[in-house]
């Protein structure tokens, strides 16, 4: 007992854990006394007495359960924090922890294994710390290693079945480092890798499934490639040959829809092609990499004597219709060594394995800390390999790779915005971010429209946190460009967002005079019913008085109806009513919401479900607030949520002829996206309700079966309401699902029509140009076509990217109802094929 306690104390003190227990203090006092007096019988007797007292106290104070919980808590703390900043070296901490754990291995083996697996699955950036620890523990207790491996394989299987392929990857990488730590035999791990390759070679399954197995296999090679090359060269080469053949035959149509830039000085490369190139370079460098921290090297003596385990056989879960594999991706490339300061470390090349590994680790840190931007920023900046790379540039590249990741960013874009603001609180980072913003502007001509939208949101948000200070003059070349030129769009929309975050006058204050043309018009209301000459002025006056007198919704209905027999039709009356309402509520959003709520039943009465009435409302809204995009967005959203208009009417309105001249504005597409998300959200909630009801019914059925005393008639009576409720929810879901499908088809059809029509016009224009032989026309025509076509094509792709999950469900309807009609146009079909390849 004394010895065990001594070990625990020694081990734990290495981690700076202070023990204020009486026992510890008393031992110190005893030591002091012994030092002065020297040992004698009396001293020894006193010590024995103290020990007896301690035992009594423990018996009185702690039940065994409480003590157990305390120990588990300490174990958890020790295991989760190993590898963090410490006064001692990591090696001595690992050794100390291994000694502490050895004591508890028999008693708490299952808990320790569970904690280790949790840590490894959730903190992959400390993977080599945990693998080394496992190696040390295995060297002390052979049985521990065996049980851990069984548990890991079981966990791997569970993760794959749950479609959690990120964590499954961490488990497999962990296996490869356990080979280095002498826990797993190399031969059995080679067999495991062969199984991965076999899964990758399996036909009749989606490419994204095979992709994942290839990715995992390649991902292991930086860790064990050298060992494999030394001892299993032939098998390694055979596996690499299989991978190479697969990569050559692989469909890569998805690349174009996922690239941030269509034409960039840095290749935007498919992720497997890029990793393959990196592995080839690693191979030609004889599998020597200078990046992975190999803690186990410090324990060569200990680990060399350890008994290794054969990795048990692993069979991956088969492909089933519910399997959801990671989408393919394209590697974001933004900087090269020429962008970085001459005096710092060199940026590893795009095809070096170091580039892959550092970006992967930073991505893991981002993933762990996405709930805390301050901690995330400090962990990125304090990254333990920050002296090996130009850290500011690598951090920025990784952050932007996530912000611009297609089809969607891993987490909400505003997180990256606030993270970058946090990173700006250091000395050198602001300059690099400014450099990045300049580079984005210079390369924006070939940037995907979906990414330009995110860039606009990020940059305007960033400006609003730094008093809008920017060298705007550097961007004055955009002022005279065509309205659809990407640079012009970008600056125009950034200024519009800056205005929304501040106010119109503020723009004039921070912009140089040359930018006067770029400043949006003042966002004022356009109300023509104040004009005494207006034919509807009299009716407007009556309505204004009614509103000011706060008449009820019902009275308003009567008032509007009293015009029956007059020359105005119902939609005209509705339009004037709505226009006056908007005018009187113009002060704030809240006034508008209050007005809509108060006269909800009036609007409902006159709109009903009529699409033409809904279009009237939307047209009136636009006429009144056409200079204030934000107001239109907010009010359309509100009308949707109040069910005064529905999404299909919004779509019809947005793509109507009268809105064509606004096609280029960002707020149009913001509204479209909100309308689609509104319906999509309904569908998902409805699906969830169906599933919840099914679960509830199943629970009741199983409860019911256990009740032996119920009469059959009672059973029937009880189950009926449940069945009816389920049927109602399923019908609801089916209706909503159909509605969403039709809506998406309408949107795609409308954009399609624009493209088809444009192509026709293009042909005519081309012919005219040729006939006229005017060089200037030809030149300007080409530019115009290019900008317009790029923009609309980008918007088309953006619909697929933003709603890829829903659209994938509807792909059969897409092919049957939509593309047959337009099959003739190869350019348009190309976009769809790119989309389809995402999950092929």
Partner 1 sequence: MSGVVNFRAKDDASVLGPYRDQRFKGTLREQEKLLLTSKTLYVGNLSYYTTEEQTYELFSRAGDIKRIIMGIDRFKKTPCGFCFVEYYLREDAEDAMRCINGTRLDDRIIRTDWDAGFVEGRQYGRGKHGGQVRDEYRKDYDPGRGGWNRVIATRNAGLE
Please choose, out of 74-82, 166-174, 357-365, 608-616, the segment that lies near partner 1 by the rule CB under 8 A.
Answer: 74-82
Q: Applying CB under 8 A, what is the total number of residues that bind partner 1? A: 45
Please choose, out of 75-83, 170-178, 295-303, 546-554, the segment that lies near partner 1 by the rule CB under 8 A.
Answer: 75-83
Tell me the C-alpha to C-alpha distance, in Å, between residue 599 and each of 543, 546, 587: 13, 12, 17
> In 202-290, where does DSSP find H-type helix?
207-231, 233-249, 255-258, 271-284
For partner 1, the closer of residues 370 and 765 by Cβ is 370
Cβ distance 562 to 526 under 8 Å? no
Q: Which of 22, 62, 245, 375 binds partner 1 (CB under 8 A)?
A: 375
For the bound state, the minimum distance from the C-beta of residue 621 to partner 1, rounded and expressed in Å, comes to 16
467 contributes a contact to partner 1 by CB under 8 A: yes
673 contributes a contact to partner 1 by CB under 8 A: no
Phi, psi of 417 (to 5 degrees): -60, -45
For the bound state, the minimum distance from the C-beta of residue 202 to partner 1, rounded and expressed in Å, comes to 34
d(CA 487, CA 483): 9
Going by C-alpha positions, the residue among 49, 311, 273, 299 that lies closest to residue 188 is 311
372 contributes a contact to partner 1 by CB under 8 A: yes
d(CA 178, CA 242): 25
Q: Which of 45, 231, 290, 412 binds partner 1 (CB under 8 A)?
A: 412
The tally of CA atoms less than 13 A away on the side-chain side of residue 106 is 1
Please choose, out of 147-155, 325-333, 407-415, 554-562, the segment that lies near partner 1 by the rule CB under 8 A.
Answer: 407-415
d(CA 518, CA 483): 10
For the bound state, the minimum distance from the C-beta of residue 412 to partner 1, rounded and expressed in Å, comes to 5
Please choose, out of 253-261, 413-421, 728-736, 822-830, the segment that lies near partner 1 by the rule CB under 8 A.
Answer: 413-421
For partner 1, the closer of residues 587 and 706 by Cβ is 587
For partner 1, the closer of residues 290 and 412 by Cβ is 412
For partner 1, the closer of residues 534 and 685 by Cβ is 685
Length of the chain (residues): 840
Q: For residue 206, give every residue at least 6 positions away whose Cβ sits within 8 Å of its Cβ, in sequence order, or none.
A: 319, 323, 325, 839, 840
For the bound state, the minimum distance from the C-beta of residue 389 to partner 1, rounded and expressed in Å, comes to 26
502 contributes a contact to partner 1 by CB under 8 A: yes
Burial 617-645 (b: 16+ CB within 10 A, else e): bbbbbbebbeebbbbbbbbbbbbbeeebb
Structure token pair of residue 593 = 């919401």
Going by C-alpha positions, the residue among 688, 692, 643, 679 that lies closest to residue 810 is 679
d(CA 333, CA 264): 9
In the numeric block, the tokens 């060269």 are attached to 233
Q: Which of 371, 711, 713, 771 binds partner 1 (CB under 8 A)?
A: 371
Please choose, out of 39-47, 73-81, 280-288, 709-717, the segment that lies near partner 1 by the rule CB under 8 A.
Answer: 73-81
For the bound state, the minimum distance from the C-beta of residue 438 to partner 1, rounded and expressed in Å, comes to 22
184 has which bridge partners? Answer: 309
Q: Which of 13, 446, 572, 637 binds partner 1 (CB under 8 A)?
A: 637
Q: Which of residues 104-133 bind partner 1 (CB under 8 A)?
A: 108, 111, 114-115, 118-119, 122
Binding mask 438-457 for partner 1 (x = CB under 8 A): -------------------x
Instruction: Count the neighbouring beta carbons within 10 Å of the beta carbon of residue 221.
Output: 25
Please choose, out of 68-76, 91-99, 128-136, 717-725, the segment that lies near partner 1 by the rule CB under 8 A.
Answer: 68-76
For partner 1, the closer of residues 118 and 742 by Cβ is 118
430 contributes a contact to partner 1 by CB under 8 A: no
For partner 1, the closer of residues 542 and 642 by Cβ is 642
| Number of DSSP helices (H) and strands (E) in the chain, helices first | 37, 2
For partner 1, the closer of residues 574 and 647 by Cβ is 647
413 contributes a contact to partner 1 by CB under 8 A: yes
For the bound state, the minimum distance from the C-beta of residue 197 to partner 1, rounded and expressed in Å, comes to 33
589 contributes a contact to partner 1 by CB under 8 A: yes
Q: Which of 13, 23, 80, 435 binds partner 1 (CB under 8 A)?
A: 80
Distance between the two ends of the chain, CA-based, in angstroms? 62
For partner 1, the closer of residues 182 and 373 by Cβ is 373
Tell me the C-alpha to C-alpha distance, in Å, between residue 707 and each of 205, 224, 267, 702, 720: 45, 58, 67, 9, 17
d(CA 139, CA 308): 9
Cβ distance 561 to 521 under 8 Å? no
Tell me the C-alpha to C-alpha distance, in Å, between residue 386 and each of 36, 492, 549: 51, 38, 69
- Interface residue list for partner 1 (CB under 8 A): 69, 72-73, 75-76, 79-80, 108, 111, 114-115, 118-119, 122, 368-369, 371-373, 375, 412-415, 417-418, 421, 457, 461, 464-465, 467, 497, 500-503, 588-590, 593, 630-631, 634, 637
């Amino acid at each position: 007992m004394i010895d065990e306690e001594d070990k625990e104390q020694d081990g734990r003190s290495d981690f700076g854990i202070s023990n204020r227990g009486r026992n510890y203090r008393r031992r110190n006092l005893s030591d002091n006394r012994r030092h002065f007096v020297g040992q004698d019988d009396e001293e020894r007797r006193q010590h024995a007495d103290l020990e007896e007292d301690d035992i009594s106290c423990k018996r009185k104070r702690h039940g065994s359960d409480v003590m157990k919980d305390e120990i588990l808590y300490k174990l958890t703390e020790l295991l989760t924090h190993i590898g963090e900043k410490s006064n001692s070296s990591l090696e001595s901490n690992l050794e100390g922890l291994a000694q502490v754990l050895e004591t508890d291995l028999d008693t708490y083996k299952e808990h320790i294994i569970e904690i280790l697996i949790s840590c490894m699955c959730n903190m992959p950036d400390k993977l080599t710390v945990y693998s080394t620890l496992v190696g040390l523990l295995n060297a002390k207790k052979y049985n521990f290693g065996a049980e851990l491996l069984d548990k890991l394989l079981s966990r791997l299987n569970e993760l794959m079945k749950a479609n959690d392929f990120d964590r499954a990857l961490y488990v497999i990488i962990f296996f490869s480092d356990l080979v280095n730590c002498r826990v797993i035999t190399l031969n059995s791990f080679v067999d495991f890798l062969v199984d991965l390759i076999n899964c990758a070679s399996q036909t009749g399954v989606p490419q994204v499934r095979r992709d994942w197995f290839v990715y995992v296999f390649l991902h292991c090679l930086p860790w064990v490639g050298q060992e494999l090359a030394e001892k299993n060269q032939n098998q390694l080469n055979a596996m690499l040959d299989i991978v190479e053949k697969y990569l050559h035959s692989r469909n890569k149509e998805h690349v174009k829809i996922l690239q941030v830039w269509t034409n960039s000085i840095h290749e935007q490369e498919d992720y497997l092609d890029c990793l393959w190139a990196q592995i080839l370079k690693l191979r030609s460098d004889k599998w020597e990499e200078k990046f992975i921290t190999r803690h186990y090297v410090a324990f060569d003596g200990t680990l060399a004597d350890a008994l290794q385990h054969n990795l048990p056989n692993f069979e991956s879960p088969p492909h089933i219709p519910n399997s959801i594999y990671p989408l393919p991706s394209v590697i974001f490339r933004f900087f090269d060594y020429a962008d970085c300061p001459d005096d710092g470390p060199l940026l590893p090349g795009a095809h070096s394995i170091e580039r892959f590994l550092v970006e992967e680790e930073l991505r893991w840190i981002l993933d762990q800390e996405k709930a805390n931007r301050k901690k995330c920023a400090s962990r990125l900046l304090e990254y333990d390999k920050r002296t090996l790379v130009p850290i500011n540039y690598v951090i920025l590249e990784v952050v932007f790779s996530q912000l611009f990741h297609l089809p969607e960013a891993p987490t909400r874009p505003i997180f990256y915005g606030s993270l970058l603001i946090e990173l700006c609180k250091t000395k050198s980072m602001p300059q690099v971010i400014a450099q990045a913003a300049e580079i984005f502007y210079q390369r924006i001509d070939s940037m995907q429209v979906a990414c330009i939208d995110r860039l606009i949101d990020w940059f305007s948000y960033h400006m609003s946190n730094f008093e809008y200070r920017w060298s705007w003059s550097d961007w004055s070349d955009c002022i005279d460009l065509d309205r659809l030129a990407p640079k012009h769009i970008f600056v125009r929309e950034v200024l519009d967002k800056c205005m929304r975050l501040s106010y119109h006058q503020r723009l004039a204050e921070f912009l140089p005079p040359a930018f006067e043309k770029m400043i949006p018009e003042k966002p004022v209301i356009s109300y023509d019913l104040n004009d005494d000459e207006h034919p509807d002025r009299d009716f407007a006056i009556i309505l204004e008085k009614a509103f000011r007198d706060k008449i009820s919704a019902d009275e308003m209905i009567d008032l509007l109806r009293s015009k029956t027999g007059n020359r105005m039709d119902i939609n005209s009356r509705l339009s004037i009513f709505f226009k006056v309402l908007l005018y009187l509520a113009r002060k704030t959003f809240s006034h508008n919401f209050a007005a809509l709520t108060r006269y909800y039943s009036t609007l409902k009465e006159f709109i009903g479900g009529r699409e033409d009435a809904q279009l009237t409302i939307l047209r009136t809204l636009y006429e009144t607030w056409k200079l204030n995009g934000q107001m239109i967005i907010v009010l359309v959203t509100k009308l949707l949520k109040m069910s005064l208009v529905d999404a299909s009417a919004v779509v019809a309105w947005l793509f109507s002829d009268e809105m064509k001249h606004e096609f280029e504005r960002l707020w149009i597409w913001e509204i479209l996206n909100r309308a689609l998300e509104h319906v999509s959200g309904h569908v998902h909630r409805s699906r969830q309700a169906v599933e919840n009801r099914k679960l509830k019914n199943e629970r009741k059925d199983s409860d019911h079966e256990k009740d032996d005393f119920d009469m059959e008639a009672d059973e029937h009576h009880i189950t009926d309401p449940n069945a009816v409720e389920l049927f109602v929810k399923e019908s609801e879901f089916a209706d909503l699902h159909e509605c969403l499908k039709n809506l998406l088809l309408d949107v795609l059809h409308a954009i399609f029509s624009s493209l088809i029509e444009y192509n026709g016009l293009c042909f005519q224009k081309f012919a005219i140009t040729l006939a006229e032989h005017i060089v200037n026309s030809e030149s300007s025509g080409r530019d115009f076509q290019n900008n317009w076509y790029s923009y609309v094509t980008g918007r088309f792709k953006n619909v697929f990217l933003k709603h890829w999950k829903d659209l994938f469900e509807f792909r059969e309807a897409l092919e049957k109802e939509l593309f047959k009609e337009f099959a003739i146009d190869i350019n348009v079909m190309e976009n769809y094929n790119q989309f389809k390849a995402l999950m092929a």
